[in-house]
Structures are given as C-alpha cells and as structure tokens.
Structure 1
Amino acid sequence: MSFTIVASFAAGPHAAAIPLLEGAGCMVRQIPAEARAWTPELIADYAPTADAWLGTFPGLKLPRQVLERSERARLVVSSIIGTDFIDVAAASKLGILVAHGAMAENFDGMAEAGVMLIAALRKALPGKIAALAEGRWKPAPAGRMVKGATIGIIGFGRIGQGVARRLQGWDCDIIAHDPYLGAEKAVAAGAELVSLEALLERSDVVVMLVTLTEETRHLIDAAAIARMKPNAHLINIGRGGCVDEAALLAALDEGRLAGAAIDTWETEPLPADHPLRRHPKVIATGHVVGHSEELYARIPEVAAENMLRGLRGLDPLHIRNPDALPAWHARMARLAA
C-alpha cells in the first residue's frame, strides 16, 4: 500500500500508530512539532502530498484552506475521540471522510471518571485532602452522600449514558438534558429528560459532557450558574469553552457553588498561573481524567486500523461524518481513476 500520510501529534501514545502504518507500506510525513500556524509554505509543502491526514494537530488544526489544497486526500483520522480541531463541515463538502478514536475504552473510561468525580465532590474530597496537608487531623469538611442527590447530565450521549448506568444502585435521581435525544432513550439509560433550566435548578451535581460548538460555547455562564443550587457542584469533562471559567471562579469565590471538577479548559495547555489550577474547591486535571493504560494501548491500534481501512476504500471503524459517505465513495472512485 503506497500512500503518503501527513501526521501531527500532541504528546501521548498517538505516534505509536506510525510504525503500524509504515509496516503496511505507507509513508508518514510528520509536520515539525514547532509549527503553530499554517503558512503558505507549510500548506504548499504538505497538503498536495497528503493521501490522508492523521493526528491531533496541536496549535495548527485542520482548517478548510488546508483541506481544499489536499487534492489527493481520502480521509482525516483523529487519533482521539475529539474532532473539534478539524473543519468537519468542509471535509464533508469535499467528500473527505473523518474517522476518530471512538473506542469503548474511551467512553467507558470517561464514564468511570464521571462517577469518580461525582463521589469525590459530594464527599468533599478536596477539602479533606487539604486538611491533612495543612497538618489538621480533624476537623475536615463532612461532605454529603451521593445517595439521595440529584445528578444532572448535560449531553446524554455514550459517555453520559455510561455515567447514568454506573450510578444505578446508588439511590440517586438522574436527570439529563440533550436536545438531540428522545425521552425514551434517556429513560432506557435510567434518566429523566428535562429542560436545561430545570436541570440547573434541580441538580446537586451538574456534569458537562457536550462537545464545543457555537451553540455550547459558554453554555454554563454566569446566568446559568445563578440558576444552580448554592451548594451544588459542577463537573466539566466534556470540552473546554463550554464553561465560562471566569464566571465559575467568581461563583466559587463568592460561595455560590460548593466546588467543581474541571478536566477540559478554555485554554490548553492550562496556563501555570490560572486561578482554578490550585483552587481549594476545585479538582483540576489536564485533559487526562478518563485516560488509562488500556486506552493508550488502543489509541494507535484504532488510528491505524481506521486509516488503513479508509485508504483501502472500506468504511473506517468509527466515522465522525457518516453523511459524507456517498460523497466519499465518489471521491475515492475519482482518485482511483
């Protein structure tokens, strides 16, 4: 298989896909790690040679102007589940398929992390850890039980439903908001589907699991936080930018929220001086909270398999833009002619 793949990765296990692809006969060209903007020279060097694109493209993204210059490109493969760095709409219009790392280890790991953070916040774990670190044996904040709490999940896809299923037997009420989901599906996963306003007003813990779009940017802002209970907790393990971090900081400092857990941030990597990074009411992690050795082992395998299947004209394992399949098949036929 003689194809040229252009790759750009963030730190992590992603680059382990390269030897798998080279072993299948592909040539992989890596964009210099220091590149942080698409210059005309960079586009001219890489786009016309790309039979496919692979990676997470930190600092660069994959915008329309690059995809339009990729006359030979069959597909784009994101090694992670996220595709917000790719102009998926432009790819679909061009007949370029977008595949991503939507493996079970990703969804299951994030669902486990969601339940872990719900319990940690309800049990006042940050305050208990801080008390011991400060030399106090007791007293420490008592926290509250998960039993009897109302857990609100915003974005009730595979991860949200996984959180709900894992909370069965905890004797808590689960409500969800997702404008793209039917009530029957929510009920089947053990949740009641409600409006966003009702979820904010009723929840003891709000879990954000939405992707970042113009619709969801700052979905949780000062007005949304004002609707929440004064002793509620907020968890964002979806995408940074969906929570207005300045509004969250103000609410925590003023005692209008009991605490938060944040894994995804408006600016990544998170600046060293970010006020939420070491906030006493916050569990802060660096976009890794659901990661596991099992996931890291699967990321390169799934990325390579998605890529090789797509280059051979077979549907990848996990497709982000399935509506583009007819245009993709037409593009593949044109490129093979």
Structure 2
Amino acid sequence: MAMTEPPLVVITDSDLPGDEPERILRSAGLRVRRASCRRAEEVAEAARDATALLVQWAPITAPVLDRLDRLRFVSRLGIGYDMIDLAGATARGIAVANTPDYCVEEVAAHTIAMVMALARRLPGLDRAVRGGRWSATGDGAGALRPSRATVAVIGFGRIGSLVAAHAAALGFRVVVHDPHVDEAAVRAAGHKPSQLEEALAVADIVTLHVPLTDLTRHLLNGETIARMRPGARIVNTCRGELIDETALAGALASGHIAAAALDVFEQEPLPAASPLRDAPGVLLTPHAAWYSPDSLQELPRRAARQIVDFLQGRPVPSIVNPEYATARTGGSA
C-alpha cells in the first residue's frame, strides 16, 4: 500500500527572523515549503499543492484560491487580514485565522506614547531645543492638560479597549465609536459611546483601531477631517489605508490638524516623496508598534501552532470566518 504524504504547509512570505514556524510544523509531522511571494501569481505557483498557508503580506485573492484545490486553512502572521479575500475563502470552505493577541500590549503602549507625545508637543519641543531655542510657552503652544482633553478611540476591540483604559487612567475623557460593540459595554468600561461624527467633532486626539475593510478605507478623508475641531491631533497605529494621506497632509499644512503620529502608511516603506515627511507637526515610526522581543517570538509561534491545531482537529478560536464550515459541508456545519 502506498504511503500517503503528510499535508504540506507553504509559508508564502515572512520577513521575521528565525525558523520557528518550520520547527513547529515539522515536529507535528507536516511538510513545509518556504517561499518569497509578493504577487498573486507567485502564490498560486508556490502553493499549488498546499493544505495550509502561513501568510504575512502575500495577496491571497479569489483567483489564487481557485487554483489551490487542496487548501483548507490560512494562518495570518499578524492581526489584520486585509490581504486575504475573506469572502472568497469562506465561499470555498477555507478557514482563515489571524494572530490577534500577540502584540496587544505593545500596540496599546505605542499608541499611548504617541498620544502623549502629541498632547505634550514633544516632537516640536525636541526640534526647538536642538535648533537652539529654549521656549516652553512658544514651542510648546497647544500642549494639553489631560483632564481637560478628549481622546476619541475609534474601534473598541482588544487594542482599542486597552488604549481607552490607558488614556482614562492618564486623566483623559474618552469617547468611543464602534458600531460592532454594545454601548452598554463601553459605558461599563467607564467611557462614553459615540457616533463617528460626534466623536470626531469633540476629540482633541483621535486614535484609530479598526480593521481595514471597504467601509473603513479612508475613514479619515477630506470630508471627515474637516469635521474635526481645529487643532485636533490624529494617531494611527492600525492600517495606513484608514487615512487619506493627501487630505491629511493638506490639513496639517493648513493648520486645521495640529499634529499627527503615524506608524502605518498607505505605502510602506513610506515613499521619499510623501508629503507627510515634510508636513508640520508629524511624528513618524516605521510600522513598529507591534514590536518587542516578546511579540517577535510569539507571532510566528502562535501562527504556526494554530495550523497544527486545525489540521489535527483541535479548535482554533482565532478563525475569523467560522461560516467557512457551512460552505465546506455543503450547507450543514
């Protein structure tokens, strides 16, 4: 009798150091192939016989999925999964899981650091001292007292709720907008639930914590930014495409938006010609909010282990499309 080959897991792409995913997958008896895919065609070729994928940034589109007849599971190296056609995967009975909690503390801490840097005008004060000036009232103009300032947290998931708690602990008034969270849960946490328009209108600082979807792409655009109060500040540690960067650069140049702290961008690395590089009052970091040595170890480990769990029939709580099972079983989960 011919021996059946173990399932194949293809790591489509990863810029993380080390071989922890391979070690975990092979120790579970799985075959592993590591690729360096950046385009859909590369994914379709590299993963043609894969049962599972480990994906960082490679595009997993519907045409790609059509060519992967054996595929049952996709594990994302990270929290967002906008590079995966979720509806397409669901329709084909393919489960998709993210890695939702490997860096919650890090992103929340990075966000609060950015909030406080903008509230206390730290980037401008630093540049002023380096430039030979020494004027707290001049270069620190617009500094906020937390107890008299409002932070609008847009998105109240794992990270957004922790950011809200941290901001409240620092004395800020916190308003929260998240149409997918019961308002009673927001109130129970001590914050004020709010519609998006109201949150933008009252906030001194707006921080974004929502997934990137067709509905949230350019959530902050020329129109919504114009609704914000003059002198407001924006923080984004979530997805760059949530903000129309051209509109933001214009609002910074006009002074309508006093400052912005950005860790994510519409194109990464941030292009040399981006107007954000020279816009006044901008603090930039290189998509680093997720990082600590601890999170760097946890991310590939958790993403690989959930592949093992799925293929061995154990529950995977981080599956983001549980309805995939109905499609796979032809209508009865």
TM-score norm. by structure 1 comes to: 0.89
Gaps of 5+ in 2: none
Aligned length: 324
1:66 aligned residue? 64
Task: Identify if the C-alpha distance between structure 1 residues 15 and 273 changes in structure 2 by more than 3 Å, giving closer, same or farther.
Answer: farther
1:19 aligns with 2:23: yes
Distance 2:25 2:281 in 1: 45
Distance 2:234 2:106 in 1: 19
**Cα deviation 1:98-155 (Å, max 9, x = unaligned):** 111112x422222222221111100001101211222334453252222221111111
Residue pair 2:233, 2:259 contacting (<8 A) in 1 also: yes
Q: CA RMSD in A?
A: 2.1
Distance 1:265 1:174 in 2: 25
**Cα deviation 1:219-270 (Å, max 9, x = unaligned):** 1111111111111101111211111111110111111111001111111222
Q: CA deviation at 1:43?
A: 5.7
1:8 aligns with 2:12: yes
Residue pair 2:74, 2:95 contacting (<8 A) in 1 also: yes
1:93 aligns with 2:71: no
TM-score norm. by structure 2 comes to: 0.90
1:297 aligned residue? 297
Query: 2:248 is aligned with what amino acid?
Result: L
Task: Identify if the C-alpha distance between structure 1 residues 247 and 202 changes in structure 2 by more than 3 Å, giving closer, same or farther.
Answer: same
Residue pair 1:78, 1:101 contacting (<8 A) in 2 also: yes
Deviates more, 1:136-145 or 1:146-155: 136-145
2:112 aligned residue? 115
Pairing of 1:200-215 with structure 2 (within 5 A): 200-215=200-215
2:217 aligned residue? 217
Distance 2:44 2:62 in 1: 14
Distance 1:55 1:299 in 2: 12
Residue pair 2:225, 2:248 contacting (<8 A) in 1 also: yes
1:126 aligns with 2:128: no
Distance 2:11 2:24 in 1: 13
Distance 2:306 2:317 in 1: 6
Distance 2:132 2:225 in 1: 33
Task: Identify if the C-alpha distance between structure 1 residues 108 and 14 changes in structure 2 by more than 3 Å, giving closer, same or farther.
Answer: farther
2:314 aligned residue? 314
Task: Identify if the C-alpha distance between structure 1 residues 15 and 198 changes in structure 2 by more than 3 Å, giving closer, same or farther.
Answer: farther
2:74 aligned residue? 76
1:30 aligned residue? 34
Pairing of 1:120-269 with structure 2 (within 5 A): 120-139=117-136, 140-142=139-141, 143-269=143-269
Query: 2:111 is aligned with what amino acid?
Result: G
**Cα deviation 1:72-95 (Å, max 9, x = unaligned):** 112000011111100111111111
> What fraction of aligned residue pairs are identical, expressed as a percent?
35
Residue pair 2:235, 2:260 contacting (<8 A) in 1 also: yes
Query: 1:20 is aligned with what amino acid?
Result: I
List, as ranges, runs of 4+ consecutive aligned residues in structure 1 with deviation greater than 4 Å: none
Q: CA deviation at 1:274?
A: 1.6
Task: Identify if the C-alpha distance between structure 1 residues 250 and 187 changes in structure 2 by more than 3 Å, giving closer, same or farther.
Answer: same
Residue pair 1:112, 1:290 contacting (<8 A) in 2 also: no
